[in-house]
Amino acid sequence: MNLATVATSSIGKKFIAAFTGLVMVVFTIGHLTGNLLLLMGPKFFNDYALFLEHLFHGWAVLLADLVLLVVVVSHIWAGVNVQLRRGEARPRDYESKQDAGGASQKSFASSTMIFTGVALLVFIVVHLLNFKWGATQTIPLEHGEHMRNLYGLVVTKFGQPLFAFGYIAMMMLFGVHISHGIWSACQSLGLANDKYLPILQKLGWGLSFLLAFGFIILPGLIFGFNSYFVEANQTYLQTMMGRG
């Protein structure tokens, strides 16, 4: 049996969906940590973004982007196949309304995984178009270099009601998605048995809440105290532009 055969088997797809899902959870922890640095001010946040952009002469970001692309595509492919197969195998009528019990118990999060997943995929595309590839004011540096004012971009976007509350709604869906995904992935990878599964479920729920809350707090604060963040951005720009 070769690797391709294993990967396309039912067990292989579950393993791929689980492993790639946990990789993305680890990434979101790092991404959230970076996002929250915005609360330390525009200089700190923009310098951090510039550091990442130039890390290993730009190769670090490029490599991370390529790895994440493979991970996301693999997760979508495996996850959709697992959910469709699960739907085909699901009992009908009376039995379909019952909890499976034990390790495979049904919940709102588990039964909506494919829908929240599709919504999050759309969100990722919109997020990249706005923040990674969107037009951004640049700040001149020494030696003719320029730095993107990502702080100002985030403050501008989250100062808009539709964008801020849309982001918050999507982060709620993200929390729902991973509240099932974290412990289910660990179970699929053989990291939990029936004895420790309840503990793992609670840890998964707790982590999903913390991540969702962490991503929600930033647009909430920026929208609620927008004048403070706008003033901080303007003061920062005046300082940076006045250096020359």
Query: Mean of the per-residue pLDDT values for the chain?
Result: 89
Q: Please name the amino acid found at residue 160.
A: Q
Averaged pLDDT, 111-138: 93
Instruction: Name the phi and psi angles at 147, rounded to 5.
Output: -120, 135
CB 35 within 8 A of CB 217: no
This prediction has a pTM of 0.88
Residue ranges in the chain assigned as alpha helix (H): 3-7, 10-36, 42-54, 59-89, 93-96, 108-111, 113-127, 150-158, 161-188, 197-224, 226-241
> Residue 119 belongs to what domain range?
3-91+111-241
Q: With cut-offs at 50, 70 and 90, classify the pLDDT of residue 8.
A: confident
**CATH number of the domain residue 216 falls in:** 1.20.1300.10
- CA 82, CA 85: separation in Å to the nearest integer? 5
The answer to the question of residue 233 being in a domain is yes
Residue 97 belongs to some domain of the structure: no
Task: Write out pLDDT tens, residues 145-189.
Answer: 889 999 999 999 999 999 999 999 999 999 999 999 999 999 889
Is 174 within a domain? yes
Q: SS3 of 61, please?
A: helix
Tell whether 200 is covered by a domain: yes
Residues 39 and 228: their CA atoms lie apart, in Å, by 11
For 32, the token pair is 């959230």
- Closest C-alpha to 134, from 148, 118, 120: 148
In a domain, 145, yes or no: yes
Q: Is residue 27 part of a domain?
A: yes
Count of domains forming the chain: 1
66 vs 72: CA distance, rounded Å: 10
Which pair of tokens denotes residue 114? 């494919």
Cα dihedral sign, 140-146-148-151: negative
**Mean of the pLDDT values across residues 139-149?**
86
